[in-house]
A and B are shown apart, each in its own frame.
Chain A
């Protein structure tokens, strides 16, 4: 226990120091998640909020929350793992008595910590432009929202890690992420609140893990009506499915690992 705590502290502080060097890049990355705000502009421009049983203020809060959730659930483990596996950097990691994915997880968390000021600045800017005119839900609601956001991050990290295991079989596995990104983009609630979908499409979306990654936390964060227990149960169910799959693929993949590079 004491060892794990020390390990976590060291990993996080090292990765945080490392990420601080990438400040300029992370500021740019924060800008790259503007899609929910662009969609907000479109939805309010089309005057469509009335059809969605959402008031314009609720719509604005929803997309602003979706933006925040998106910022703290960005996952890039497949890209870094592909590079590490191809260049042979994975080999020394494998010699250490620590699963290499803990290192990647720590890097993600550290990157999110670096992101906080940029995200706050953008949220504040949108707020001042009028999105926040309608007030914000009480602290208990959005603290819960932030907690669920970090669960959503873990779920997305896990899902991408499962796909990442394809790196053991192919040199270009990161291309798979492009495929995974499509349902994530269109079914998660990033481009439209799920109420806007026709019933059939909505059922399809709810049968995938993607709404748990944006829609559910964003709804909590913006103080909308949610089925809290149901949402948490869905997340737990997907985790219970994906985690064993990841461990299984990891063991199978390691046997194939050829330790390329130096």
Chain B
């Protein structure tokens, strides 16, 4: 365990040093977070400005969902994109060989090697939006509610990680699933809105197949203080299940890894 923590420290400080060579990117990422947030708020306003609501959620409550989405998007840019987006290249160029030879778990190395600070503005903006919107929606979260929300957010992050990892791991077979992870990113935009705003068939799809509901709607309900125990348990179960699946799939996929010929 100590070895893993020390490796993590070394990984992240070296990637931080590398990323800081491109200070202009900080500005670009900041602008992109703000621009995306402003655009999403405008889209929400298009609905609410006409007196329609989305699936029975008030304006402020819908903003909480958007906040959770922004937070997760920041998490994606910080950890998932830089690490899991690179797996495809490791497979294609054969540098996965070197990863497998290292005396450290390969899934850990592939998932935690890089760290990009440029996702942090998204994380902060998301947290700020969740806090402000929840206050305006009249929620006065107690400590247990806050802890519960934190737990559910961790579950969302784990589910999101597993989805990304599973998709990236399929590159062992397809080799050329170049940027397949971008696909995931663009499909998950559905999570910008409360899941009850969708027609029933899509709602089922977003809960069971592509668990968008667990990613944003469930944590948002938690901070608003209206989640129920079954949903919390389902979210926990989903997180554990998807994590186990990603682990199992990786072990299975490695059996088919044949390295790249040189």
Interfacial residues, chain A to chain B (CB-CB below 8 A): 21-22, 24-25, 28-29, 31-35, 38, 41-42, 44-48, 51, 79, 170-172, 175-176, 178-179, 182-183, 185-186, 191-192, 196-198, 201
Contact = CB atoms under 8 A, between A and B. Distances in A.
B245 interface: no
Given A28-B183, A179-B35, A186-B39, A170 B202 contact: no
- Prevailing SS type, chain A contact patch: helix
Given A34-B187, A170-B24, A25 B174 contact: yes
Contact of B36 (A34, A42, A172, A182): A182
Contacts of B9: none
B188 to A, nearest CB: 10
Interface stretch (B42-50, B107-115, B147-155): B42-50
Nearest to A76: B179
Contacts of A79: 179
A29 B183 contact: yes
Interface in B35-86: 35-36, 39, 42-43, 46-47, 49-50, 52-55
B43 A48 contact: no
B193 A176 contact: no
Nearest to B42: A186
A201 to B, nearest CB: 7
A196 B46 contact: yes
A196 B31 CA distance: 25
A158 B143 CA distance: 54
Contact of A45 (B39, B50, B177, B197): B197
A122 to B, nearest CB: 13
A38 B183 contact: no
Contact of B35 (A24, A176, A182): A182
